[in-house]
Amino acid sequence: MSGDPRPGLGCVGAPRLLAGLDQAPRLDRLGHLTAHGPLPRYRPDELVALASDIDLRGRGGAGFPFVRKLRAVTQSARGRDGQTAVVVNGSEGEPSCLKDTALLLHAPHLVLDGALLAAAAIAAEDVVVAVTRADVEQSVRDAVAERGPGGRQVRVVRLPERFVTGEGTALTAGLNGGPALPSGKKVRTSERGLGGVPTLLSNTETYAQLAVAARLGEAEYRSTGLPTEPGTVLLTVAGSTVVETPTGAALPYVLELCGTRPGQGVLVGGYHGRWLSPGAARAADVSRQSLASFGAVLGAGAVLPLPEDTCPAGEVARVTRWMAKESAGQCGPCVRGLPALADVLEDAVRGGGAGALEAVEARMKGVRGRGACSHPDGTSHFVASALTAFPDEFRDHALGSGCGRRVLGALPLPQDEVPERLVVDWTLCKGHGLCVDILPDVVRLDADGYPAQASMPVPGRLRPKALRAVRRCPALALRIQE
């Protein structure tokens, strides 16, 4: 993604993964050891028992038990000369999720600790961290250098930044020197992954959680969070703030901490996720069980509230078009089906008539279950969930009346190279000054207390704050100009 947004950080309660980051923006090796202490040694059976006892789940989307991956790789390695590998999936091709980016930029040694613990448990000599951003790549390379020579060496590989890069077979293919695209086949990396050997592949947060648990032990790790889902979890809220929270925390409280509310609804799990109604969002907790009761999953931890003053139908159509462009280009449902779905959805939003929504349903049915990877299904489910969450909005748009609201871009997408601008309408501005309180890095006031400029560039990472400034201006004197 161009613009490479850097997330803000926050915590509910005492931090674990983000410990020490109140003292320094990035923990080098010394800062890491000061914040977390030395890493204990674990025998392979002890690490397997720890992962099982704390019920460590993958934090990249599927929530697969980590201990089953450990055992599967060990089992596959028997009879194959015992060769294994460890891969850290640090690719976040979705603009709504920045938690792995936050860890690798600010606490890379915690991730390396977890990866090296796992490598020791399965006797893996090859440890690779896969990334897609230049700044993240440099941070991890610096961390590897800070550890000095000796022990298992860690390689850092940068892959293309796209939505499908993080899919297991796509990531493996890219690391093996091919195109980073899904294979379309059900290939378990635990059987054949990096270099063709059994590979333990999991995402950045999973390895960081393992490193924290190794230091705390089972009992202390379980002292935070729910008994059935112990520990903490990282959430990316509104595409801009990464929050560490114990499982079981009230979702509305986490949103309030980030300066937002459920609004018209909350998209949970990112652009392959599901929408929660405002009522469901106010009743939900941060846990797999709670979200499942509302038909949602936490996925990679993206939480996207939709503000009251933006058009839901237009926001969904905008994301659907981007998702269509992120096609792997390998099968009909992606190459033709997703662009066609985006076409008919945009037609419905523009007032395509009574049959427009039926056309959307037909296009969704045409891509489901037919793709070479999960991208067509995920995009279809995103649209279907939106149609269920905002039925009146889509109906009114299709029939031509619409909602009268602009599309503010509240659902984050990659920023263009030319930044958007915050524009002041001088005929309305009363000099209240709330804009500078919210956006001190963008807005400057003149001697009379008014914005010093009528048009100010907004970096991509500050877009959510710019939207907040627009919404909170008492005189309605601000707008974002694309």
CA distances (Å), origin 2, targets 95, 159, 227: 10, 14, 41
The pLDDT score that the predictor gives to residue 461 is 64
Angstrom distance (rounded) from CA 411 to CA 100? 19
The pLDDT score that the predictor gives to residue 417 is 44
pLDDT, one tens digit per residue, over 158-199 is 998 888 888 888 899 999 999 888 877 777 899 999 999 999
The closest alpha carbon to 455, from 447, 471, 465, 466, belongs to 466
Confidence of residue 274 (pLDDT cuts 50, 70, 90): very high
Residue 3 clears pLDDT 60, i.e. is over it? no
Confidence of residue 145 (pLDDT cuts 50, 70, 90): very high
Mean of per-residue pLDDT scores for the chain? 92
Decide which of 1.20.1440.230, 3.40.50.720, 1.10.3720.10, 3.90.440.10 is the CATH code for 312-398.
Answer: 1.20.1440.230
> Residue by residue, what is the 3-state secondary structure of 50-96?
HHHHCCCECCCCCCCEHHHHHHHHHHHHCCCCCCCEEEEECCCCCCC
The pLDDT score that the predictor gives to residue 416 is 44
pTM of the model: 0.85
Residue with tokens 């080098």: 28
Decide which of 3.10.20.600, 3.30.300.350, 3.30.70.20, 3.40.50.720 is the CATH code for 232-305.
Answer: 3.10.20.600
Residue 272 clears pLDDT 80, i.e. is over it? yes
184-192 long-range CB contacts below 8 Å, 24 or more apart? 184/330, 184/331, 184/372, 184/373, 188/72, 189/87, 190/69, 190/72, 190/73, 190/76, 191/72, 191/76
The whole-number average pLDDT for the span 423-430 is 92
In sequence order, what are the residues at sequence separation of 6 or more whose Cβ sits closer than 8 angstroms to the Cβ of residue 103?
Answer: 17, 110, 111, 204, 205, 208, 234
Domain 420-481 top-level CATH class: alpha beta
State the architecture of 17-221 in CATH terms. 3-Layer(aba) Sandwich (3.40)
pLDDT, one tens digit per residue, over 242-265 is 999 999 999 999 999 999 999 999
The whole-number average pLDDT for the span 390-413 is 92
Residue 2 clears pLDDT 50, i.e. is over it? no
Angstrom distance (rounded) from CA 385 to CA 402? 19
Residue 1 clears pLDDT 50, i.e. is over it? no
In sequence order, what are the residues at sequence separation of 6 or more whose Cβ sits closer than 8 angstroms to the Cβ of residue 219?
Answer: none
Contact present, 306 and 410 (Cβ < 8 Å): yes
Confidence of residue 32 (pLDDT cuts 50, 70, 90): very high
